Amino acid sequence: MASKPPLCLQWNCRTVADWIAELGFPQYRACFIKNNIDGRKLILVNCSHLPQLGITDFEHMKTISHHVHELLGIEEPLWNRSISLPRRDAMGLFLEQKSRTGSCADSVRLEQFLKPTTK
């Protein structure tokens, strides 16, 4: 697992839109800008949510989702994954926390998030 959060968490929605265009999907720039998808919200970008942004081509959805997971350094959940396994890798869970807005989400740091809680 990475020891630092990915730098893309600091991207604004125009930087994310430019990155999408660089992936070969310039037609979706406006979708990401209109929906205000910044670096913190990238964790929410997957095949389930892309149609809500206006992206409905399944091959494009798979490619974008794959690149988002690769950029964030998180596992891509498999459809046949056992429910007995933990929900997601630690970085994925951390990024999910950071995708929210507000002072609680802003104050979460990776080091704190990874510390085991003691009872």
Q: With respect to residue 34, please indicate whether it lies within any of the assigned structural domains.
A: yes
Q: What is the pLDDT of residue 63?
A: 95
Q: What is the pLDDT of residue 69?
A: 87
Q: With respect to residue 21, please indicate whether it lies within any of the assigned structural domains.
A: yes
Number of H helices, E strands in the chain: 7, 0
Rounded distance, CA 2 to CA 92, Å?
Answer: 11
Q: With respect to residue 2, please indicate whether it lies within any of the assigned structural domains.
A: no
Q: With respect to residue 1, please indicate whether it lies within any of the assigned structural domains.
A: no
- Token match 């891509």: residue? 76
- The domain total for the chain is 1
Q: What is the pLDDT of residue 43?
A: 82
What residues contact residue 31 under an 8 Å CB cut-off, 6+ apart?
53, 54, 55
Per-residue pLDDT, averaged over 101-115, amounts to 65
Q: What is the pLDDT of residue 82?
A: 67
pLDDT in tens, 15-63: 999 999 999 999 999 999 999 999 989 888 888 889 999 999 999 999 9
Q: With respect to residue 93, please indicate whether it lies within any of the assigned structural domains.
A: yes
Rounded distance, CA 71 to CA 7, Å?
Answer: 9
Q: In angstroms, how far is the first alpha carbon of the chain from the final one? A: 25
Q: With respect to residue 119, please indicate whether it lies within any of the assigned structural domains.
A: no
Report whether 29 contacts 21 (CB < 8 A): yes
Domain that holds residue 50: 7-114
Residue 38 three-state SS: coil
Q: What is the pLDDT of residue 111?
A: 64
pLDDT in tens, 56-104: 999 999 999 999 989 988 776 555 656 666 555 666 666 666 666 666 6
Q: With respect to residue 46, please indicate whether it lies within any of the assigned structural domains.
A: yes
CATH of the domain at 54: 1.10.150.50
